[in-house]
């Protein structure tokens, strides 16, 4: 099969960018990715975005960003899959290059939460659920995650602080990430005293909404200019899966089928088993999501995903390092850009450029993006080319 490599990466700092617009954020990261690739020129642009029509009053981002980046004439479309939008855009870029129809694909994830404040943000986020049966009743993503968390604690009889390890790990790893929104480690006591958002979910159990943009340039290996100043990274597995949009329609709300299906397909494509995965970039918008992903993918049995975090098995020197650059919890949840940030983090690890966060001998990484409570799951497996 065609070897699809990530030849260039770019990212902006995640945070509250009050003084810069959505198109400018995207342009900065496009510039960085093109420069990092050695000047490759894309024929296609796939934009991952979640809420620009609601928050920024702007749709048709493909054409907007292609125009602003001086790429008029190329194919340019927006991909939307709620929080999995960036991962879905990466998959479309991968398929375009793997098919042979596109030589170089540009994948951009971008989101601007600060274009609205207050209840307007909550209303926009609620559109990612089932409007007729969830959102209309006042259900928000945070409230939904809290219900899942409460059910998990009841079902598996876990301690009340069972999910603390996910926040502690993310914030510890975010310290050395210069692009993270929060760069300060927290203690267990800090977690225990955190303000409640929606019982039992507290402010450290969820990622902060933030602005940001990240970009990738994908191409075939033979088109990459020599010499390279870092190891190349290729995509060896890519898969996506969908489930019911409404959480209450599922047979088992505490099992993320899509996480299992998409990761399983990606690993089958790559010809790998879980023991070959060196790190996992999960979708930790909520700690409960991280636990359920660890269980669905197969790193833990049902009801024990939280134990991996509690026992520091997901730390940088643990059994399966996760959120290696701080994840969404410390870096910030940049909506539709999050899946692209995950890929950038993985490439940095595989190139050996993670500095203080570097995992020894990291060769293969799994990244997984979720839309809602795993109504969509997109998984990719990346490998360093030695």
Q: What is the largest CA-CA distance in the chain?
A: 57
4-117+209-223 against 138-206+235-385: fold identical: yes
Per DSSP, helices labelled H in 137-206 are: 141-156, 164-174, 188-192
Q: How far apart are CA 17 and CA 27, in angstroms?
A: 14
Give the pLDDT score at 205: 98
Q: Give residues with Cβ within 8 angstroms of 363, minimum separation 6.
A: 278, 350, 383, 384, 386
- In contact, 214 and 49? CB cutoff 8 Å: no
Give pTM, 2 decimals.
Answer: 0.98
Question: 138-206+235-385: CATH homologous superfamily?
Answer: Thiolase/Chalcone synthase (3.40.47.10)
Give dist(CA 196, CA 198) in Å, integer.
Answer: 6
Q: What distance in Å separates the CA atoms of residue 22 and residue 17, rounded to the nearest whole number? A: 9
Predicted pLDDT at 228: 75
Q: What is the pLDDT along the chain (386 residues), one digit of tens a residue?
A: 689 999 999 999 999 999 999 999 999 999 999 999 999 999 999 999 999 999 999 999 999 999 999 999 999 999 999 999 999 999 999 999 999 999 999 999 999 999 999 899 999 999 999 999 999 998 999 999 999 999 999 999 999 999 999 999 999 999 999 999 999 999 999 999 999 999 999 999 999 999 999 999 999 999 998 767 889 999 999 999 999 999 999 999 999 999 999 999 999 999 999 999 999 999 999 999 999 999 999 999 999 999 999 999 999 999 999 999 999 999 999 999 999 999 999 999 999 999 999 999 999 999 999 999 999 999 999 999 98
pLDDT score recorded for residue 23: 97
Quote the CATH superfamily of domain 4-117+209-223: Thiolase/Chalcone synthase (3.40.47.10)
pLDDT, one tens digit per residue, over 336-374 is 999 999 999 999 999 999 999 999 999 999 999 999 999
Distance of alpha carbon 326 from alpha carbon 190, whole angstroms: 17
In the chain, domain spans: 4-117+209-223, 138-206+235-385
Q: How many CA atoms lie within 13 A of 82 on its CB side?
A: 22
Cβ atoms of 87 and 380 within 8 Å: the answer is yes
């Amino acid at each position: 099969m065609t070897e699809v490599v990530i030849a260039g990466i770019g990212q902006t700092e995640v945070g509250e960018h009050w003084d810069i617009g959505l198109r400018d954020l995207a342009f900065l990261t496009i510039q960085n990715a093109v420069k990092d690739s050695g000047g490759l020129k894309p024929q296609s642009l796939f934009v991952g975005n979640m809420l620009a029509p609601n928050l920024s009053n702007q749709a048709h981002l493909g054409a907007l960003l292609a125009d602003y980046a001086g790429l008029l004439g190329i194919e340019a479309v927006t991909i939307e899959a709620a929080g999995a939008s960036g991962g879905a855009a990466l998959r479309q870029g991968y398929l375009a290059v793997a098919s042979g129809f596109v030589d170089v694909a540009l994948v951009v994830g971008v989101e601007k939460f600060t274009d609205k404040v207050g209840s307007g943000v909550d209303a926009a986020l609620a559109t990612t659920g089932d409007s007729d049966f969830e959102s209309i009743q006042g259900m928000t993503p945070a409230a939904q995650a809290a219900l899942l968390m409460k059910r998990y604690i009841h079902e598996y009889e876990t301690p009340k602080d069972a999910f603390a390890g996910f926040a502690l790990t993310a914030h510890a790893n975010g310290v050395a990430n210069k692009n993270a929104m929060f760069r300060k480690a927290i203690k267990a006591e800090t977690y225990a005293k955190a303000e409640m958002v929606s019982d039992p979910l507290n402010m450290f159990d969820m990622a902060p909404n933030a602005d940001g943009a990240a970009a990738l340039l994908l191409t075939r290996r033979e088109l990459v200019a020599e010499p390279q100043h870092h190891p190349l990274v290729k995509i060896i597995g890519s898969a996506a899966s969908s489930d019911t949009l409404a959480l209450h329609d599922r047979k088992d709300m505490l099992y993320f089928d899509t996480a299992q299906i998409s990761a399983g397909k990606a690993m089958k494509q790559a010809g790998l088993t879980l023991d070959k995965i060196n790190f996992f970039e999960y979708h930790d918008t909520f700690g409960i999501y991280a636990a359920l992903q660890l269980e669905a993918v197969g790193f833990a049995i049902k009801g024990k995903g939280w134990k991996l975090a509690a026992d520091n098995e997901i730390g940088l020197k643990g059994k399966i390092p996760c959120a290696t650059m701080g994840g969404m919890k410390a870096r910030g949840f940049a909506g539709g850009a999050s899946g692209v940030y995950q890929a950038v983090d993985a490439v940095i690890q595989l190139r050996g450029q993670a500095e203080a966060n570097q995992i020894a001998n990291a060769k293969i990484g799994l990244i997984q993006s979720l839309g809602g409570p795993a109504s969509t799951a997109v998984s990719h497996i990346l490998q360093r080319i030695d």
